[in-house]
Amino acid sequence: MMVPSTGALFVAALAVCHAFAANPEITPAPTPTQALDPRAAGASGTPILSTLAYPYTALPSQVYPFAVLRGPQFGYNQCGAANATDSANCQTLVLNNASDFCLWGSPTKQGTIGDIEARVVSYCTDPKWGGRPIPAGAIHGVQFMRTSAYIQMVGFIDNTALNLLSDDSGGELDPHGADLQGNPLGGVVYSTDPAFSPDGGVTPGQVMNWNFFVGSNTFCFKLCYNNITSPDYCENRYDLIGCEYNMPNALATSTFESCDGDVQTPVGTYTTGGQTITWRMPDPLVGDPPYTPNIPASRDCQTYSSQDLFANLAGASTSASASATGSAGASATAGGSGSASRSASGSGASSTESSAALRAVPILSLSLGSVLILLGGMLVGAVSLF
Ligand SMILES: *[C@@H]1O[C@H](CO)[C@@H](O)[C@H](O)[C@H]1NC(C)=O
Ligand SMILES: *[C@@H]1O[C@H](CO)[C@@H](O)[C@H](O)[C@H]1NC(C)=O
Ligand SMILES: *[C@@H]1O[C@H](CO)[C@@H](O)[C@H](O)[C@H]1NC(C)=O
């Protein structure tokens, strides 16, 4: 199974700890007054990534050049068609609609999100945004959804198209992170969606709060409107329970659509017996969450063919028969991965909900948390900083 047991994860976390610091000692959890990790950003010279705002046209070459904590950032933020190559290290990501979007992926071949979360770079369908090109035939279904509080994009993409190991179960990325420097450090997200664009849809506007899961040949990406902070639909404390809970959706393999939809119930919240309950995710996760998420209603869906949306991807023009073969093989792969994760989650999702089952496991977040706990610099309660 791709999702390791929590026991295995803990052992893996300890192994990483030992790599970082020989003979760590377990110290008692600090009291709540010590809750602020002294090594989180926020002091002078260490800005909190999610507070750094720039017009798209005035981005500095690096938004996080600070050599503190995990800094400076790996890549750069001035990105454009001129450098949209396979080796681009662009960390400005643009997500507009079902055909025009970028995703975070590995800067090196065979990466795993756990290892490269601080250094991910953008991969795009359009060279205009300066990311590495997403190859033709790699995307096997997408759903773009606009709601009153966020836009959301979910899809199936071959892990390898983002330079991830083919069996990486992935993880979660957001502009916060335990130390508030973000994953990736210096990563900024923009959209031309009218909810963000300063000029009604031409120039991308910055998205201050977002979260993203990728792994198991699946991704989900939510861009929360800047004017809606409560409830926080881009909550990032539920990073071990994947797209199924964080962005419940009914995406089916080989379906390409763009819809309007209702907002979801915030992750962790559910009602039972007329009572609304907020469940907090334990870390490490033990067992399944105590509820099955509801999939929000969607309406006015426009449906497309893959060809309609992605005819311009790198390699797409080589031959028509190649693309036909590619998509047949592809849907088998995506379906297989979907059903594997579905049986892992045991949530009994229907056959059209295969993407919903991704259980992303951010191995580095876990091990970093454990390192901090072992070094006495952070308590379990400080998980709220994630
Ligand atoms: C990338 O290309 C754009 C123009 O397309 C340019 O403005 C930017 O400075 C370049 N960035 C780097 C890092 O070369
Ligand atoms: C996405 O936006 C681009 C312009 O940014 C537009 O050309 C394209 O038609 C849009 N695609 C969809 C599916 O809305
Ligand atoms: C928040 O912004 C969205 C997108 O621009 C807009 O549609 C909505 O009316 C705004 N909501 C509030 C409560 O201001």
Q: What is the pLDDT along the chain (386 residues), one digit of tens a residue?
A: 333 333 333 333 333 322 222 223 333 333 333 344 557 899 888 899 999 999 999 999 999 999 999 999 999 999 999 999 999 999 999 999 999 999 999 999 999 999 999 999 999 999 999 999 999 999 999 999 999 999 999 999 999 999 999 999 999 999 999 899 999 999 999 999 999 999 999 999 999 999 999 999 999 999 999 999 999 999 999 999 999 999 999 999 999 999 999 999 999 999 999 999 999 999 999 999 999 999 999 999 999 999 999 998 988 864 333 333 223 222 222 222 222 222 222 222 222 223 333 433 333 333 333 333 322 222 222 333 33
> What length is written for the chain?
386
Orientation angle between helical segments 363-374 and 6-20, nearest 10 degrees = 60
The closest alpha carbon to 219, from 247, 189, 191, belongs to 247
CA-angle at 209, arms to 195 and 279, nearest 5°: 120
Pocket of ligand 1 (CB under 6 A): 76, 78-83, 130
DSSP 304-367: E-HHHHHTTSBTTTS-HHHHHHHHHHHHHHHHHHHHHHHHHHT----GGGGGGG-----HHHHH
Ligand number with the minimum distance to the CA of 59: 1
Q: Distance from the CA of 281 to the center of ligand 2, in angstroms?
A: 37
CB 103 within 8 Å of CB 162: yes
The number of helices, as runs of H, and strands, as runs of E, in the chain is: 6, 15
| Percent of the chain whose pLDDT exceeds 90 | 69
Q: β-strands 102-105, 92-94: how paired?
A: unpaired
Give tens-digit pLDDT for 248-288: 999 999 999 999 999 999 999 999 999 999 999 999 999 99
Q: Distance from the CA of 193 to the center of ligand 2, in angstroms?
A: 10
Taking the C-alpha atoms of residue 242 and residue 240, their distance in angstroms, rounded to an integer, is: 6
Closest residue to atom 6 of ligand 3, CA basis: 195
Going from the C-alpha of 11 to that of each of 113, 125, 284, 356, 372, the distances in angstroms are 18, 38, 11, 28, 16
